[in-house]
Amino acid sequence: MKNLLNLSFNVTHKDIEDMVKLDELTFFPEDSANVEELEIWYKRNKDIFVLLKNDDKLIGYSIFFPITEECYKKYRSGEILEGEINSSEILEWQDNTFPYVLFNNISISPEFQNGDAIKILTSGIISKVMELKKRNIVLCNTIAECDSNDGIKYLSNIFNFKPVGSQNSRGDLYESNNLLN
């Protein structure tokens, strides 16, 4: 039977639980998300996840969401990690804005990492960014943490990220002032 990879932008509680399980396979334990944190983020902004599924089983996902300028600056300087972001610092997408954005995560199940999964997930991320762009939401202040060479190449080549010159306790920080714009 052929794998059926498809994108989803709708998230269930089970999807959030599966994201945590997926992180346990792909990240160091201290880098893994937890259900409570993801639930808080989801309650603040339901439009932040891009999911990749194989026959309805979660095999990859990405998260990016708008945050306050103050939170962005603290994250950019390495003062805080994403788990330390207050729910009040997570914003809704608002039309006609230039939000400060945390590009939080890209995770793909190890068994799918050398196939089309990253291409399909990337197309979902691009689709989400283009949807925001149609609403005149311009992503020109986007920050991400990266802890692998593959991640650095991906962020740099696909999304125009450049090193910030600072890091947090887990990895180097990268910024894009032109995320697909």
| Measured torsion, CA atoms of residues 39, 43, 46, 52, in degrees rounded to the nearest 10 | 0
Q: Name the nearest CA neighbour of 45 among 75, 67, 76.
A: 67
Give the whole-number percent of the chain exceeding pLDDT 70. 92
Q: What is the mean pLDDT of residues 105-112?
A: 89
How crowded is the C-beta side of 84, counted as CA atoms within 13 Å? 11
Q: Domain for residue 124, yes or no?
A: yes
* pLDDT above 50 (res 1): no
CB burial class (10 A; 0-12, 13-18, 19+) of residue 11? buried
CATH code assigned at 104: 3.40.630.30
pLDDT digits (tens, 9 = 90+) for 43-96: 999 999 999 999 889 999 999 999 999 999 999 998 888 888 989 999 999 999
Q: Is residue 181 part of a domain?
A: no
Q: How many structural domains comprise the chain?
A: 1
pTM attached to this predicted model: 0.89
β-bridge pairing 57-67 and 100-108: antiparallel
Q: Are 56 and 8 in contact (CB under 8 A)?
A: no
Instruction: Confirm if 41 and 16 have CB atoms less than 8 A apart.
Output: no
The residue type found at 135 is: R
Q: What is the pLDDT of residues 6-29, one digit of tens each?
A: 999 999 999 999 999 998 887 665
Residue 28 lies in a domain: yes
Q: Domain containing 121: what range?
A: 5-176
